[in-house]
Chain A
Amino acid sequence: AQTVTQSQPEMSVQEAETVTLSCTYDTSENNYYLFWYKQPPSRQMILVIRQEAYKQQNATENRFSVNFQKAAKSFSLKISDSQLGDTAMYFCAFMKHERMAEYGNKLVFGAGTILRVKS
């Protein structure tokens, strides 16, 4: 079974500064996907960024980037130029790769990190 660990329950950052959220995972799988989702107070889970394990290059999406260390099973999220709208709960998630779609692919989530951006 896979597990995902987010060791930072809460973090704060000043507006315009950079913050890094940590995530580690445990799996015996070689092919998998990793995600960061954001959940603001509205409860809507929003995909922030996605990383395929077979890709060595770290994924980036505008101000969001990841540091994916496959050997260390680490997947941290860096938010640059933090904005007030980034305030939310952030979840790291793991998805096993299945060759056949009908086998399904549940997401395994970490406990989440509450990020507060201060003005």
Chain B
Amino acid sequence: GAGVSQSPSNKVTEKGKDVELRCDPISGHTALYWYRQSLGQGLEFLIYFQGNSAPDKSGLPSDRFSAERTGGSVSTLTIQRTQQEDSAVYLCASSFARVSTDTQYFGPGTRLTVL
């Protein structure tokens, strides 16, 4: 079936603006993860959703970052008042999570550039 999809593929915004990044997980996958890939910090975990459980937000770098997952499927990562250091590739991954260590499958990412 279809893989994880993310939109937009690329996003250029001005400093101070808000942005929304979207992730569509693989159908049937209950777990969804957001990661950030930047030159200075490498690949970092941001947030994790699993079913109806409270999300694990331990990786969010500041309160300008938030995410939601509607209906247990699509997720939106929102960055408010963007800063230049937010420029990065934002990757989404999903897994079945029938057991805690199911393999995560990644989307192609959204490249965010903050001018």
Contact = CB atoms under 8 A, between A and B. Distances in A.
Contact of B100 (A35, A44, A101): A101
> On chain A, which size bracket covers the interface?
20 to 34
Given A102-B53, A106-B48, A97 B31 contact: no
Contacts, number: 68
A104 B106 contact: no
B108 A44 contact: yes
Contacts of B103: 35, 47, 50
Contact of B99 (A35, A37, A101): A101
A89 to B, nearest CB: 10
A45 B91 contact: yes
A42 interface: yes
Interface string A12-54: 0000000000000000000001010100001111110010000
Contacts of A101: 31, 50, 97-100, 102
Nearest to B50: A102
B97 to A, nearest CB: 5
Contact of A91 (B43, B50, B98): B43
A59 interface: no
Given A101-B31, A109-B43, A44 B106 contact: yes
Interface residues of B, number: 29
A108 B98 CA distance: 20
Contacts of A109: 42-43
B51 interface: yes
B8 interface: no
Interface of B: 31, 33, 35, 42-43, 45, 48, 50-51, 53, 56, 59, 89, 91, 93, 97-109, 111
27 contacts: A35-B103, A42-B108, A43-B89, A44-B107, A44-B109, A45-B91, A45-B106, A46-B106, A47-B103, A95-B101, A97-B100, A98-B101, A101-B31, A101-B97, A101-B98, A101-B99, A101-B102, A102-B53, A104-B56, A104-B100, A107-B35, A107-B45, A107-B93, A108-B45, A109-B43, A110-B42, A112-B43
